[in-house]
Every structure is written in C-alpha cells, then in structure tokens.
Amino acid sequence: MKTKLGLLYGGKSAEHKVSLQTALAVINALDHEKFEIHPIFIMETGEWIKGPLLDGPVETVAALQFSRGEALPPTALAPTLFQAENKNESFDIIFPLLHGPNGEDGTVQGLLELLNLPYVGNGVLASSAGMDKVIMKNIFAQAGLPQVNYVWFIRSEWEQDNNSAYEKVEAEIGYPCFVKPANLGSSVGISKCSNREELVEAFKEAFQFDRKIIIEEGVIAREVELGVLGNDNPECSVTGEIIPKVEFYDYKAKYEDGDTALVIPAEITKDEYELLYGLAIKAFKSLDCSGLVRADFFLTKDGKAYINEVNTMPGFTPFSMFPLLWKHTGVEYPQLIERLVKLGMERYEEKQ
Ligand code: ATP
Ligand code: MG
Ligand code: MG
Ligand code: MG
C-alpha cells in the first residue's frame, strides 16, 4: 500500500516562491512506488486548490500552480480539501512545505491538529514560537542560550513616537545593527544599518512586512548552521558555513545570485563543533521542536557562539543548506524526506 501524502505548498507569505521550488524538488525526489502524492497549492491570495494526483516527476514550477477555477473561499475549502468520502480515502500524512507566516508559523499545523491528521515537521507551539523572532529569543534567553542584544517595537508604538524608538536602538544596541520583521524568513525585509538615516529607512522597510520588528546588535562572525533531526531524541548533522559575497546573506544572495559559498562541513575545531551541537539541541528542546529545525549560529574569531535563530521549516530544495548538511552526514535527500514522514507519524501515534 502506498503512503497517501498530501503536499501543501505555495502559501500566503512573502516566501511563496521559495516554497514552490521546494515542492518541485520534493515531488521529484519522492519514490512514486512508495508514495501517492496529492498536491495542494495555496495561492498567494490564500485560496487552496487541490491539484491532480501525481504519479511521476513534474517538469516546472508553473505546472504546480493550478488555476483558481476550482477554488472556493479558503475558509470553506481548507477543511473540505482534507475530507474524504470514507476513512480509507483520507491522507496518511500531510507535508506542509510552507515557509513564513501562514504555514511555518503554526496556523496550518493547528488546522491539521483539528483535522486529526498526521503531518511532517514541527507542531503548533514550536512553529509559532519559532516564527516570531522576539518570542523565540525570549525563550532562548530563558534557556540560557547565548545571543546578541535585541530590542523590539510594534508599529503603533513607533508611529506614536518614532524618535524615541530610534534613540532606544542607539542607546541599547548601537551600530551596526540589523532591523528585521519579527515574523518572516529568507531575509525578506531585513536591513543592516550603520547610521540614523539607514535606521529610519530600515524601520519603514521592516514595518511593511510585519506589525512587529526586532533590532539586533550586528556581530562580526562566521555564520555556521546545523541541521537537527528527530523528536524526543534529536540528532545534529555536520556543520555548514555560509560565506556570502555581499554585506550579509540577503534574499538575493539566498535565491538569485548563487555565488554565496556553502562550505560543508565548516572548518571549525572539534570543541567548536561540540559547543554548537549542544546549543542546537538545547534550542530544539527549548521550543519543544519535533521533526526538524535548522539552527543558525554566529561564531566569532575567539570561539564564542551566539544563536541567531532556528527555522522550523528551513529551505528544502536539494541545494538548500538543510538537505546538504544531512547529505554530508550520510542521509540522502529521498531518505531525509522519508525519515521526516516517519517522525511525523511517530509523533502522531505518540499523542493518540
Ligand atoms: P532564513 O532564511 O534563515 O529564515 P531570516 O529571514 O530568518 O532568514 P536571519 O537569519 O535572521 O533572517 O538573518 C539573515 C541574515 O542576516 C543572516 O544569515 C546574516 O547574514 C545576517 N544577520 C542577521 N542578524 C545578524 C546579526 N545580528 N549580526 C550579523 N549578521 C546578521
Ligand atoms: Mg529564519
Ligand atoms: Mg526561514
Ligand atoms: Mg537565517
């Protein structure tokens, strides 16, 4: 019997396009003898569309963007899409291949919980806490994880008195600093600032994507990442280092230029690896993660590590960091997907 896998992708998020790339890669990597793949496309407008059953590879991303002809309003459609005429027709598992808000943030996970369907990756709590950089950092601080200083604002606070906001950043954080939307990924809306003028622009930019923003101390450090895989007993991959050719690892460097170097494994000492390994597991557990995360660190010259963030649904094409890290650890892309499916099933069964 094939595993009936519902693949959810696209999404109402600034990371919609990234998700499409990932879906294409996952569909083509899955063993079609083992899996029956049911694509479910979420348009940028939030409409959900069920595509035709896939029994082989797909050529292009465009082929995954079904027309809105069949679409119903999302509230009506989302649950009905998962409803089966009889129990045997229901999905065995859902793979939410969604990045950013409305997908990586616990919303879709909550829907799947209500529908009592097993799904791949993090649950509601870890997804939502991991999506909001302020909440995530507060939890990390409580767990004693080392991180850079940060402050945060909501839009209305800034609109009321923007000068005080800038002054607070200058007093508590200083330059250079990074201004980020609290709930996003792929570096969308992020700016590095070296003076007041840039700070003002960065606030405006980040507030276009979120009602809440975070400002962090900029560190001069190497960027080293680890993949974490598992449920209650997670394991880490080897490390990978990102060496962007530009100021920082921005959206363009991630998805358009392709001349950012990924060095796997990163050239770090055994002590540094052990340090990062321990911190990554601690971060995973502090958010009560399950399935997977990619833990991103800053590593300074003198061997100090700061956690930057975890991503509860990291970039997942075969050329993305997370799958590459596991490949170098001995888990090939198709096996990685199967392992995630298994972990999703196990978590579901444990809760029953
Ligand atoms: P992802 O695609 O990994 O989800 P994101 O949108 O969540 O990314 P961050 O990882 O927080 O964004 O930041 C993007 C990049 O900006 C980092 O990879 C790094 O290059 C740079 N950066 C972010 N914060 C800092 C900081 N405090 N100091 C130095 N560089 C930083
Ligand atoms: Mg992120
Ligand atoms: Mg992300
Ligand atoms: Mg990141």
Name the residue with higher pLDDT: 255 or 61. 61
Name the residue with higher pLDDT: 234 or 44. 234
For ion ligand 2, residues whose CB falls within 5 Å = 185, 309, 311
Name the residue with higher pLDDT: 53 or 129. 129
Q: Return the percentage of the chain with pLDDT > 90, whole number.
A: 76
User: Nearest residue CA, atom 17 of ligand 1?
Assistant: 249
Calpha distance 168→162 (Å, rounded): 10
Name the residue with higher pLDDT: 258 or 344. 344
Among residues 261, 249, 307, 316, which one has the least CA distance to residue 281? 307
Q: How far is the CA of 17 from the centre of ligand 1 (A)?
A: 19
- CATH number for region 150-217: 3.30.1490.20
Q: Residue 322: what residue type? A: F
Atom of ligand 1 nearest to the CA of 315: 2
Q: Please work out whether the CB of residue 148 comes within 6 Å of at least one atom of ligand 1.
A: yes
Calpha distance 101→22 (Å, rounded): 16
Nearest ligand atom owner, CA of 254? 1
**pLDDT for residue 142:** 98
Q: Could you tell me if the ipTM is greater than 0.95?
A: yes
Over residues 236-241, the mean pLDDT reads 98
Over residues 82-110, the mean pLDDT reads 84
Over residues 12-34, the mean pLDDT reads 91
User: Nearest residue CA, atom 9 of ligand 1?
Assistant: 187
Name the residue with higher pLDDT: 126 or 85. 126
**pLDDT for residue 259:** 75
Q: Please work out whether the CB of residue 176 comes within 6 Å of at least one atom of ligand 1.
A: no
User: Which CATH number applies to 3-119: 2.60.40.10, 2.60.120.200, 3.40.50.20, 3.40.50.261?
Assistant: 3.40.50.20
Over residues 148-177, the mean pLDDT reads 97
pLDDT greater than 70 at residue 71 = no
Q: Please work out whether the CB of residue 241 comes within 6 Å of at least one atom of ligand 1.
A: no
Calpha distance 287→269 (Å, rounded): 27
**pLDDT for residue 88:** 58
User: Nearest residue CA, atom 12 of ligand 1?
Assistant: 187
pLDDT greater than 80 at residue 76 = no
Task: Walk across the sheet containing 212-217 and list its strands.
Answer: 150-154, 212-217, 177-181, 191-193
Residues of the chain with CATH 3.40.50.20: 3-119
Residues of the chain with CATH 3.30.1490.20: 150-217
**pLDDT for residue 285:** 98
Residues of the chain with CATH 3.30.470.20: 130-145+220-351
pLDDT greater than 90 at residue 100 = no
Q: Please work out whether the CB of residue 240 comes within 6 Å of at least one atom of ligand 1.
A: no
pLDDT greater than 60 at residue 13 = yes
pLDDT digits (tens, 9 = 90+) for 314-347: 999 888 999 999 999 999 999 999 999 999 999 9
Q: How far is the CA of 310 from the centre of ligand 4 (A)?
A: 7
Among residues 334, 331, 333, 295, which one has the least CA distance to residue 146? 295
Q: Please work out whether the CB of residue 308 comes within 6 Å of at least one atom of ligand 1.
A: yes
pLDDT greater than 70 at residue 85 = no
Lowest mean pLDDT among 46-55, 240-249, 250-259, 328-337: 250-259
Average pLDDT across the chain, whole number: 92
Q: Please work out whether the CB of residue 100 comes within 6 Å of at least one atom of ligand 1.
A: no
Homologous superfamily in CATH for domain 130-145+220-351: ATP-grasp fold, B domain (3.30.470.20)
Q: Which residues pair with 293 in a beta bridge?
A: 228
Atom of ligand 1 nearest to the CA of 294: 3
pLDDT greater than 60 at residue 182 = yes
pLDDT digits (tens, 9 = 90+) for 115-124: 999 999 999 9
Tokens 């909440």 found at: 135
Among residues 172, 177, 173, which one has the least CA distance to residue 218? 177
**pLDDT for residue 69:** 65
